[in-house]
Amino acid sequence: MGSISTIKAYHFLPYKYGLELLLDIGHIETLKNYVLDSTLHQVSFYEIIFIQEGSGTFTLDENKMSIAPRAIIFISPGQVRRWEIEEEVRGYTLFFDKDFLHLFFSDELFLYRLQYFHQYLHPAEMHIAERSFGKCLELLQEIEQEFEQIQNDSDHLIRAILYQLLIVLNRCYADIYDVQRDTYIHPDFYRFRSLLEKRFLQDHTVEKYSKLLNISPGSLNKICRQFSGSSAQQMIHHKLISEIKKQLRQNKSAKEICYQFGFSDPSNFNRFFKKFTHVTPQQYRKKHK
* CA–centroid distance for 128 within its chain: 18
Q: Quote the pLDDT of residue 104.
A: 61
CA triplet 194, 196, 197: central angle to 5 degrees?
A: 70
Q: Quote the pLDDT of residue 105.
A: 63
The letter for the amino acid at 240 is L
Helix (H) or strand (E) holding 82: strand 80-96
pLDDT digits (tens, 9 = 90+) for 10-62: 887 776 766 567 888 999 998 877 778 888 888 889 999 999 999 999 999 88
Hey, which residues does 272 pair with through a beta bridge? none
CA-CA distances (angstroms) from residue 51 to 102, 124, 227? Answer: 27, 14, 28
Rg (CA), the chain: 20
Whether residue 3 has pLDDT greater than 50 = no
pTM above 0.75, yes or no: no
The letter for the amino acid at 4 is I
Choose among 197, 266, 209: nearest CA to 238. 197
Q: What fold, for 187-287?
A: Arc Repressor Mutant, subunit A (1.10.10)
**3-state SS assignment for residue 102:** helix
Give CATH superfamily name and number for 4-177.
Regulatory protein AraC (2.60.120.280)
Domain ranges of the chain: 4-177, 187-287
pLDDT digits (tens, 9 = 90+) for 252-288: 888 889 888 988 888 889 999 999 999 999 998 888 7
Q: Would you say 28 and 92 are in contact if contact means Cβ atoms under 8 Å apart?
A: yes
Kindly report the backbone phi and psi dihedral angles of residue 184, in degrees, each rounded to the nearest multiple of 5, phi listed first. -125, 20
DSSP letters, 29-92, are GG-TTTTT--S-EEESSEEEEEEEEEEEEEEETTEEEEE-TTEEEEE-TT-EEEEEEEEEEEEE
The letter for the amino acid at 170 is N
Q: Left if phi > 0, otherwise alpha if psi is -120 to 50, otherwise beta: which for 167?
A: alpha
Alpha helices for 68-153 (secondary structure H): 98-105, 110-113, 130-148
Q: Would you say 135 and 141 are in contact if contact means Cβ atoms under 8 Å apart?
A: no
DSSP 45: S
* CA–centroid distance for 209 within its chain: 22
**Rounded distance between C-alpha atoms, residue 218 and residue 172, angstroms:** 30
